[in-house]
Amino acid sequence: ITHSMSSSVGKLLETGKRLFSNLAPSVTIDEEGKPEMNFGFSKHTGLAPALDEVLETPAKIAAKHDRNVVIVFDEFQQVLEYGNDRVEKKLRSVIQNHRKVAYLFLGSRKHLIQKMFMDRSRPLYRAGG
């Protein structure tokens, strides 16, 4: 069992490193004994290249496997806590060119989500509508 689990964790880490070379993946075991992958920022990479890589990966996967991909952002209104709209601008510039990738933006604070997508002054105004 230990060897099998070690092999699975190793494969998970390798996949994470291959998909997100600008991030530092780590694997932990949750309370049910299942591996859980987390990503942090690599010491050698800045935020912008890491964000670019994360945002471009779904389109690369869709193209490589000729499959539709769905990305779900839960509690998306938390992006507003950054205090500026740079992430929204970056997201808009990237996802508007993606094919075969659908995005769902969810959040418990409906009025904030609506503002992000319905306010003409916001970068994500009518994105995907």
Q: How many CB atoms lie within 10 A of CB 77?
A: 19
- Kindly list the distances between the CA atom of residue 114 and the CA atoms of 38, 66, 129, in Å, as whole numbers in the listed order: 29, 32, 12
Q: How many CA atoms lie within 13 A of 14 on its CB side?
A: 6
Which H or E run includes 12? Answer: helix 2-19
| Token digits of residue 50 | 């890491």
Q: Are 23 and 41 in contact (CB under 8 A)?
A: yes
Q: What is the pLDDT of residue 67?
A: 93
Q: Tokens 């987390």 identify what position?
A: 38
Q: Model confidence over 94-116: pLDDT tens digits?
A: 888 899 999 999 999 999 999 99
Q: Model confidence over 53-95: pLDDT tens digits?
A: 889 999 999 999 999 999 999 999 999 988 889 889 999 998 8
Q: Give the whole-angstrom CA distance, residue 85 versus residue 100.
A: 26
pTM value surpassing 0.85: no
54 closest CA partner among 18, 23, 75, 14: 23
Q: What is the pLDDT of residue 5?
A: 45
Instruction: Give the list of residues 6+ apart from residue 109 with CB closer than 8 angstroms, or none.
Output: 77
Residue 8 has pLDDT above 70, yes or no: no
Which has the higher per-residue pLDDT, 104 or 41?
Answer: 104
Q: What is the pLDDT of residue 12?
A: 64
What would the mean pLDDT of 33-57 be, rounded to a whole number?
80
Q: What is the pLDDT of residue 4?
A: 43
Residue 3 has pLDDT above 50, yes or no: no
Which has the higher per-residue pLDDT, 37 or 100?
Answer: 100
Question: Angle, to 10 degrees, between the axis of helix 86-95 and the axis of helix 47-65?
Answer: 20
